[in-house]
C-alpha cells in the first residue's frame, strides 16, 4: 500500500514547505521535484492543466523529494475520482465555505460506506491491481485540505474544522482579499489581521493550518504563528521574474 509521507509529516507536527506548480509541464515538474521541497502543488484550477498532463507530472515526480498535492478545479466528486485513480492522495479543495461542502469533499475521497468514491480494481493508484488490500486501506492514506477564501468561510471555520476527515484548512490570501474589498492587496491590514486570526483558530481546532506565502517574510511570519503547510513560491512566478531580471540586466548595457 503506498503510504502518504505528507500526511504523516503533518500529523507529527512537522512543517512542510512547498512550491506552487502552474507551468503544467512534466519537464519543469521533474526539475523542481528534486529541489528539496516537501511538496509540489499541481494546480488545475488556475492553470491550463488537465488529467493526462497531471498524470505525466505525477510520473515526473517519482524519485524526487516532494510529495504531490493536487488542487482540483472545483469541489467535484467526478474530478476527485479521476485524480484519486491516478494515485493522488493529497487534495487541496478550493472555495469551501461550509461544513456541508467540507463533508462533500471528504466523502468524494472515501469508498462506501464511508463515502461515495467510485470503485475500479485496476488503476495507477493500486498499482494496476497489484495492491490487493488497496480498497480497504486507501481511505487512511487520504489527506484532504480545504481552502478558505471568503469571510463566510472564516465565519464557519470551526464547523469546517470539526468535519471528520478534514486534515487541514488552507487560507487563500488573494481571494480572501478580494472578498474583503481589497482586490490585489492581500497585504492590507484588515486581510492580514483576518489571516493571523484564522491561523490561530485553526491551530486551536487542532487542525493543520496552511497558506500560500510567496514573500519570504510572510512565510516566516506564518510559520512562526503555527502554519505547517506553506507554499513559498510558484514555478511560474520564478520563471517570469527571474527571466525578466536577466533580460533587464542586458537591456541596460
Q: Catalytic residue positions? A: 46
Q: With b meaning 16 or more CB within 10 Å and e meaning fewer, what string describes 140-153?
A: ebbbbbbbbbbeeb
CA distance 177 to 211: 13
**Best CA proximity match to 196, nearest among 166, 218, 222, 172:** 222
CA distance 19 to 182: 25
Crossing angle for the helix pair 51-61 and 26-33, nearest 10 degrees? 30
What does residue 73 show for φ and ψ, rounded to 5 degrees? -65, -25
Contact between residue 210 and residue 145 where contact means Cβ atoms under 8 Å apart: yes
HSE at residue 243, side-chain half, CA atoms within 13 A, is 6
Residue the block writes with cell 488503476: 123
Amino acid at each position: 500500500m503506498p503510504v502518504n509521507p505528507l500526511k504523516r509529516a503533518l500529523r507529527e507536527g512537522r512543517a512542510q514547505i512547498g512550491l506552487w506548480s502552474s507551468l503544467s509541464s512534466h519537464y519543469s515538474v521533474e526539475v523542481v521535484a528534486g529541489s528539496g521541497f516537501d511538496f509540489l502543488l499541481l494546480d488545475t484550477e488556475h492553470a491550463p492543466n488537465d488529467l493526462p498532463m497531471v498524470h505525466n507530472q505525477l510520473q515526473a515526480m517519482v524519485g524526487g523529494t516532494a510529495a504531490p498535492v493536487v488542487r482540483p478545479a472545483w469541489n467535484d466528486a467526478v474530478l476527485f475520482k479521476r485524480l484519486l485513480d491516478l494515485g493522488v492522495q493529497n487534495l487541496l479543495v478550493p472555495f469551501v465555505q461550509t461544513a456541508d461542502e467540507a463533508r462533500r469533499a471528504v466523502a468524494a475521497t472515501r469508498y462506501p460506506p464511508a463515502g461515495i468514491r467510485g470503485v475500479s480494481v485496476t488503476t495507477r493508484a493500486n498499482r494496476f491491481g497489484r495492491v490487493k488490500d488497496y480498497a480497504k486501506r486507501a481511505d487512511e492514506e487520504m489527506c484532504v485540505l480545504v481552502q478558505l477564501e471568503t469571510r463566510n468561510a472564516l465565519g464557519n471555520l470551526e464547523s469546517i474544522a470539526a468535519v471528520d476527515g478534514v486534515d487541514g484548512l488552507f487560507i487563500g490570501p488573494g481571494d480572501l482579499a478580494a472578498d474583503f474589498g481589497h482586490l490585489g492587496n492581500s497585504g492590507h491590514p484588515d486581510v492580514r489581521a483576518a489571516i493571523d486570526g484564522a491561523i490561530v483558530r485553526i491551530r486551536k481546532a487542532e487542525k493543520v493550518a496552511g497558506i500560500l506565502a510567496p514573500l519570504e517574510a510572510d512565510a516566516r511570519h506564518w510559520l512562526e504563528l503555527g502554519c505547517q503547510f506553506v507554499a513559498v513560491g510558484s514555478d511560474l512566478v520564478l520563471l517570469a521574474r527571474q527571466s525578466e531580471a536577466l533580460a533587464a540586466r542586458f537591456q541596460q548595457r
